[in-house]
A = this chain, B = another copy of it.
């Protein structure tokens, strides 16, 4: 008998049939090319409905074990000729299972930059982090010890998704320094500003929604918005920040969902939006009722000139969502950032955070709260404000000394970055391997753009390299550029830029 049915079993009859035939194919009992009984006959033999047999045979066909042929009936199929195995012994085809959101996130240029920057013989001017030798490690040591001693059980527990209440309160007070204190209810603690951006994108952006961005802009934001399926509308920046004069036409014609801006010491361009543009940007956002995400990791790191109010402080209508982090003014390892904004959006973000990771490490939150509450953070920022401009000036002098004629650059009034442009149309992408050979890394500007702009631009960080590395790093960079120029001189440039189809 081909098949025996157990009518007491939980397993539906069609599956009992397909399983037993499958077993006999695997054992070789039914060889390739064997004919299975016609559906009607097997149904009669087993005393089941014909549909049951049709369904069983369809199961086997779906697994590639049998094939139906008009006129010949159903026959045992040839197994996969490459492996000699039937298909159900193969590995899971993972790449067929992935969602489209994960397809947009792998930038080989950035991966190369990161890899080069981590080599011990390379001076990294690429990374956007504060100087580790300035981390207040002893202070943190003392605080964590105190925290665990005085309140260990609570601080190793879960904490509210919205954040540790005293920290939310201190953050509200800290923001008073920007011109407007904030109620703790209007502050949400997040696991770094990257998570803040992610939560905002997931809460506000459906696929194909439009987002106004600056060009260039923070590449982590580009990745988040792209992963959300948003379409990006770039507005160029100059030394006074986003060119707001170009914005209104875009808002009127396209009605975007969001405006994303880094108004102060922008990453990567170093520029700062002036007061007039801030006012005009707010007016436009109000008129067109489009929320602004103000990403503001750097504004307290001002080295000269009068402070400007944040967009959030200027906002009268609750249209600005303010995002910031301790990663740039303290260190990135605690993964603590925050969002300040109107209650309706904060409540939604908290619901989203609850499914994303429940809550943020309460011990790290306590330590940041203590730094704020006891004035340590203010002192630490003052220390950075005395050291970083010195490094910026060292880098500007080194650029003057080594790179005149090779690069054009700006002079930022704060933050982490000098923005530079290669002369003669050289591309940063081509410079990277040459720079690696000379022992220096820079961030290629094109990664901060959504269009082909910025191929000649690069971002130089002056906070991470020690003072003695800055001149040497720029000297190596100059060597790499000169080497690239001599290589390029031997090429036929037009030919290189033409696109040859790969067939």
Seen from chain A, the residues whose Cβ lies within 8 Å of a Cβ on chain B are 9-12, 14-15, 18, 22, 59, 63, 88-95, 97-102, 105-106, 129, 132-133, 135, 137, 140-141, 144-145, 148-149, 152-159, 191-192, 194-195, 198, 202-206, 220, 223-224, 227, 243, 245-246, 248-249, 252, 257, 286-287, 289, 291, 317-319, 331-335, 342, 344-345, 348, 351-352, 354-364
Main secondary structure of the interface of A (DSSP, over half): helix
Of B11, B158, B202, B287, the contact of A248 (CB 8 Å cutoff)? B11
Pairwise interchain contact A15-B153, C-beta atoms closer than 8 A: no
Pairwise interchain contact A203-B357, C-beta atoms closer than 8 A: no
* Additional A-B contact list (8), CB under 8 Å, known A88-B286, A145-B145, A334-B363: A89-B317, A92-B342, A94-B342, A100-B206, A101-B352, A137-B152, A137-B153, A361-B364
Task: Kindly list chain B residues whose C-beta atoms are within 8 Å of the C-beta of A360.
Answer: 335
A29 CB to closest chain B CB (Å) equals 18
Pairwise interchain contact A92-B335, C-beta atoms closer than 8 A: no
Contacts A191-B357, A356-B198, A357-B335 given: A94-B152 contact, CB under 8 Å?
no
Pairwise interchain contact B191-A191, C-beta atoms closer than 8 A: yes
A146 CB to closest chain B CB (Å) equals 10
Q: How far apart are the CA atoms of A61 and B156 in the complex, in Å?
A: 56
Pairwise interchain contact B105-A155, C-beta atoms closer than 8 A: no
Q: How far apart are the CA atoms of A12 and B245 in the complex, in Å?
A: 10
Pairwise interchain contact A94-B355, C-beta atoms closer than 8 A: no
Q: How far apart are the CA atoms of A153 and B135 in the complex, in Å?
A: 7
Pairwise interchain contact B102-A351, C-beta atoms closer than 8 A: yes
Task: Kindly list chain B residues whose C-beta atoms are within 8 Å of the C-beta of A144.
Answer: 141, 144-145, 148
Sampled A-B contacts (12; CB under 8 Å): A59-B252, A92-B291, A94-B342, A94-B345, A98-B203, A102-B352, A132-B153, A135-B153, A140-B148, A191-B191, A191-B335, A194-B356
Pairwise interchain contact A227-B15, C-beta atoms closer than 8 A: no
Q: How far apart are the CA atoms of A198 and B353 in the complex, in Å?
A: 10
Q: How far apart are the CA atoms of A479 and B476 in the complex, in Å?
A: 79
Contacts A92-B291, A348-B98 given: A198-B357 contact, CB under 8 Å?
yes
Pairwise interchain contact B194-A98, C-beta atoms closer than 8 A: no
Task: Kindly list chain B residues whose C-beta atoms are within 8 Å of the C-beta of A141.
Answer: 144-145, 148-149, 152
Task: Kindly list chain B residues whose C-beta atoms are within 8 Å of the C-beta of A243.
Answer: 10
A199 CB to closest chain B CB (Å) equals 9
Q: How far apart are the CA atoms of A106 and B354 in the complex, in Å?
A: 10
Of B12, B90, B332, the contact of A158 (CB 8 Å cutoff)? B332
Pairwise interchain contact B156-A92, C-beta atoms closer than 8 A: no
Q: Find the B residue at minimum CB distance from A291.
A: B92
